[in-house]
């Protein structure tokens, strides 16, 4: 079963409190989401393999470590996932970015893909699928499935806030996928919003309603 990593660094918890606050406007919300995503990326990439290289410092020749040249891919789920991309790219500027857009079929209630553009070498990349809110888990599970159908193999899911219901769905549908979150909240309400959550992440990010 995939592990759940709760990244509860004090800086992340502080910023999470600010982003949850209903008085936080779109500009600050965007900044906070990117900052938290950057801090989380530090932890999500903790297992990147290192190689030893030889360098010359001004003093002497030395052996030192560098990232092995592993290729990374960031895949935001449209639209709220876009709000995490720039923060991650600040830390990993060479990562490629794929995009996936889903809507819920009003009759079957199944997620349907309406947009998908992935890096061509997706099967060689370590992939981080990002979406701030893991609520029912339906969209995230479908996104992971669509990425796997295109050859994606090493996949992590990174969210800001998760509901226990969403975590359960991902662990059941995709036991190979680890989940990284800043907080696991109490539950979902009748409208599938996370409680206490932060409201609609996409609307707060873009100032829509
Ligand atoms: N999507 C959101 O933006 N917020 C929630 O609480 C649940 C899903």
pLDDT digits (tens, 9 = 90+) for 106-123: 888 789 999 999 999 999
Reported residue count of the chain is 209
Q: What is the pLDDT of residue 72?
A: 96
Q: Which residue has the tokens 């969403």?
A: 166
Atom 7 in ligand 1: which residue has the minimum CA distance?
Answer: 193
C-beta separation of 166 from 181 below 8 A: no
Model confidence over 50-103: pLDDT tens digits?
Answer: 999 999 999 999 999 999 988 999 999 999 999 999 999 999 999 999 999 999
Q: Tell me if 182 sits within 8 A of 7, measured CB to CB.
A: yes
Q: What ligand 1 atom has the least distance to the C-alpha of 204? A: 3
Active site residue 45: no
Catalytic site residue 203?
Answer: yes
**H or E segment to which residue 17 belongs:** helix 10-20
* Residue owning the nearest CA to atom 4 of ligand 1: 200
The span from the CA of 8 to the CA of 164, in Å, is 17
Ligand 1 pocket, Cβ-based, cut-off 6 angstroms? 80, 133, 135, 193-194, 197, 200-202
* Cβ neighbourhood burial of 53 (10 Å; 0-12, 13-18, 19+): exposed
CB 147, CB 155: distance < 8 Å: yes
Q: What is the pLDDT of residues 7-54, one digit of tens each?
A: 999 999 999 999 999 999 999 999 999 999 999 999 999 999 999 999
Neighbours of 201 (CB within 10 A): 25
Predicted confidence band at 197 (pLDDT cuts at 50, 70, 90)?
Answer: very high
- pLDDT for position 109: 79
Cα(43)–Cα(33) distance, integer angstroms: 16
Q: Is 113 helix (H, G, I), strand (E, B) or coil?
A: strand
What's the pLDDT score for residue 209?
Answer: 83
Least Cα distance to 201 among 111, 141, 139 occurs for 139
Q: Residue 133 contacts by C-beta under 8 Å, 6 or more apart in sequence?
A: 80, 159, 160, 161, 162, 194, 197, 198, 201
How far apart CA 80 and CA 204 sit, in angstroms, is 9
CATH number at residue 58: 3.40.50.2020
Q: What is the pLDDT of residue 104?
A: 86
Active site (annotated) includes residue 190: no
Please report the pLDDT score of residue 51 as a whole number.
Answer: 96
Q: Whose CA is nearest to atom 5 of ligand 1?
A: 193
Q: Which pLDDT value is given to residue 69?
A: 82
Give the domain extent around 20: 4-206
Predicted pLDDT at 110: 87
Asked if the model's pLDDT at residue 177 lies above 90, the reply is yes
Domain count, the chain: 1
Predicted pLDDT at 58? 98
| Residue nearest ligand 1's atom 3 by CA | 200
CA atoms of 77 and 155, how far apart (whole Å)? 14
Integer Cα distance of 83 and 76 in angstroms: 8
Cis omega (within 30 of 0) on the bond before 79?
yes
Percentage with pLDDT > 90 across the chain? 95
Q: Is 200 annotated as a binding residue?
A: yes
Distance 95 CA to ligand 1 centre (A): 27
- Candidate from 131, 136, 198 with most ligand 1 atoms within 8 A of CB, to mutate: 198
């Amino acid at each position: 079963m995939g592990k759940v990593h709760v990244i509860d660094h004090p800086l992340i918890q502080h910023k999470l409190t600010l982003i949850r606050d209903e008085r936080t406007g779109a500009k600050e919300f965007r900044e906070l989401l990117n900052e938290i995503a950057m801090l989380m990326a530090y932890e999500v990439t903790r297992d990147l393999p290192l190689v030893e290289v030889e360098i010359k410092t001004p003093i002497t020749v030395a052996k030192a470590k560098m990232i092995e040249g592993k290729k990374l891919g960031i895949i935001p789920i449209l639209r709220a996932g876009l709000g995490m991309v720039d923060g991650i790219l600040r830390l990993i500027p060479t990562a490629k970015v794929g995009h996936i857009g889903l809507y819920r079929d009003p009759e079957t209630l199944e997620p349907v893909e309406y947009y998908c553009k992935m890096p061509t070498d997706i099967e060689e990349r370590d992939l981080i699928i990002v979406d701030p809110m893991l609520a029912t888990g339906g969209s995230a599970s479908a996104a992971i499935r669509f990425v796997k159908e295109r050859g994606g193999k090493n996949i992590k899911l990174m969210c800001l806030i998760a509901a226990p219901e969403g975590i359960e769905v991902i662990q059941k549908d995709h036991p190979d996928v680890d989940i990284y979150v800043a907080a696991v909240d109490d539950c979902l309400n009748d409208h599938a919003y996370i409680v206490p959550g932060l409201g609609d992440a996409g609307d707060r990010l873009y100032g829509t309603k």
